[in-house]
C-alpha cells in the first residue's frame, strides 16, 4: 500500500468550524448514508476541496474514511498537495492495470485513506459504469465508516450521475454568486434521475467580509476561553 503526506489540509478557525458543522450534518443524516458523492455544476466551484476537507474532518472524528478522487477527466489533488512519485490510481484499477491494494494510499492520518484518479483514460464514463467500480464501492462500504467520492461536475459531463447510482447519498457544491438558479435546478434534476438522495447543498466561496468582525471575535474568544479551560484541568 502506498503512503503519502497530504499538505494544505490545515484551515483557519472559520473554515474548521464550517467543516465540523458539515461533518455533524452528515453523521446525523442516518447510519445508512455511508457512501456520499460530491459534485458541482461547473469546474472550479471547490467540490474537491470541500469533499477532501470533509473526509479529513470525519477522520479526525475517529471515523475510518476512504476518499476516492473519481474525476478521471481532471485530477487536481496530486498537484495541489504536491504529491510526487508514480502513484497508481482509480483509472489503473478500473482498467485492470493494478490491484485494489496497489491504488489505496495511506495518509498521515491513520483513519484516512485515498484513491487518486490516476492517468486520464480515453473512456472515463465507461470505466465508472463497469462492474469493477460497483464492486469497489460495495467492498469499501463494508470496510470503512464513510466513503467520500469527488465526482466531476454534473453540469459538464454525465459521470457524476453514473457514480451516484452506486452511492447512498449526494451533496451538491455551488459557488456563491456564480451559478444561476435555473442551472442549479437543472443539475439537481439530473442528480435526482440517478435515484440517489440529495442530502443538501454546500454554498462555497461566500464573501465573509461583512462578517469579518464576528469571525475574528468569536474565533479569538472561544479559542482563548477553551485554551484557558484546558490549562485549568
Q: Encode pLDDT of 135-189 as tens digits.
A: 999 999 999 999 999 999 999 999 999 999 999 999 999 998 888 999 999 999 9
- pLDDT band for position 218 (50/70/90)? very low
Measured CA to CA in angstroms, residue 47 lies from 32, 82, 146, 170 at distances of 23, 19, 17, 12
As a whole number, mean pLDDT of residues 33-60 equals: 94
Q: Which DSSP string do the residues of 78-105 spell out, in sequence order?
A: HHHTT--S----HHHHHTTSS-GGGT-E
Question: What mean pLDDT is predicted for residues 100-113?
Answer: 94
The residue among 101 and 216 whose pLDDT is bigger is 101
Given pLDDT bands bounded at 50, 70 and 90, which one contains residue 221?
A: very low
More confident residue, 86 or 134: 134
- pLDDT tens, residue by residue, 62-78: 999 999 999 999 887 76
pLDDT at residue 232 is higher than 90:
no
Q: What's the DSSP call for residue 38?
A: E
pLDDT greater than 50 at residue 105: yes
- Asked which of 112-121, 129-138, 165-174, 209-218 is least confident by mean pLDDT, the reply is 209-218
Quick one: average pLDDT of 39-51?
A: 92
Whole-structure pTM value: 0.85
d(CA 161, CA 223): 41
* Structural domains for the chain: 2-208 (3.40.50.300)
pLDDT: which is higher, 224 or 119: 119
Q: What pLDDT sits at residue 208?
A: 67
- Of 13-17, 122-126, 182-186, the least confident: 13-17
Q: What is the dihedral of CA 125, 71, 92, 131, to 10 degrees?
A: -40
Amino acid at each position: 500500500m502506498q503512503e503519502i503526506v497530504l499538505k494544505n489540509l490545515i484551515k483557519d478557525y472559520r473554515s474548521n468550524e464550517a467543516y465540523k458543522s458539515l461533518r455533524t450534518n452528515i453523521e446525523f443524516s442516518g447510519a445508512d448514508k455511508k457512501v456520499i458523492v460530491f459534485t458541482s455544476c461547473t469546474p472550479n466551484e471547490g467540490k474537491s476541496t470541500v469533499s477532501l476537507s470533509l473526509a479529513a474532518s470525519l477522520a479526525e472524528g475517529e471515523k475510518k474514511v476512504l476518499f476516492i478522487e473519481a474525476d478521471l477527466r481532471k485530477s487536481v489533488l496530486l498537484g495541489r498537495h504536491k504529491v510526487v512519485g508514480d502513484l497508481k490510481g482509480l483509472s489503473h484499477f478500473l482498467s485492470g492495470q493494478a490491484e485494489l491494494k496497489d491504488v489505496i494510499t495511506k495518509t498521515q492520518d491513520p483513519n484516512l485513506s485515498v484513491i487518486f484518479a490516476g492517468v486520464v483514460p480515453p473512456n472515463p464514463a465507461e470505466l465508472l459504469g463497469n462492474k469493477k467500480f460497483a464492486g469497489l464501492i460495495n467492498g469499501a462500504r463494508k470496510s470503512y465508516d464513510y466513503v467520500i467520492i469527488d465526482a466531476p461536475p454534473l453540469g459538464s459531463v454525465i459521470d457524476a450521475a453514473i457514480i451516484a447510482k452506486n452511492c447512498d447519498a449526494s451533496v451538491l457544491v455551488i459557488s456563491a454568486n456564480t451559478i444561476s438558479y435555473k442551472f442549479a435546478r437543472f443539475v439537481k434534476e439530473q442528480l435526482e434521475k440517478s435515484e440517489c438522495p440529495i442530502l443538501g447543498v454546500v454554498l462555497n466561496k461566500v464573501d465573509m467580509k461583512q462578517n469579518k468582525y464576528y469571525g475574528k471575535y468569536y474565533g479569538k474568544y472561544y479559542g482563548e476561553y477553551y485554551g484557558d479551560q484546558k490549562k485549568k484541568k
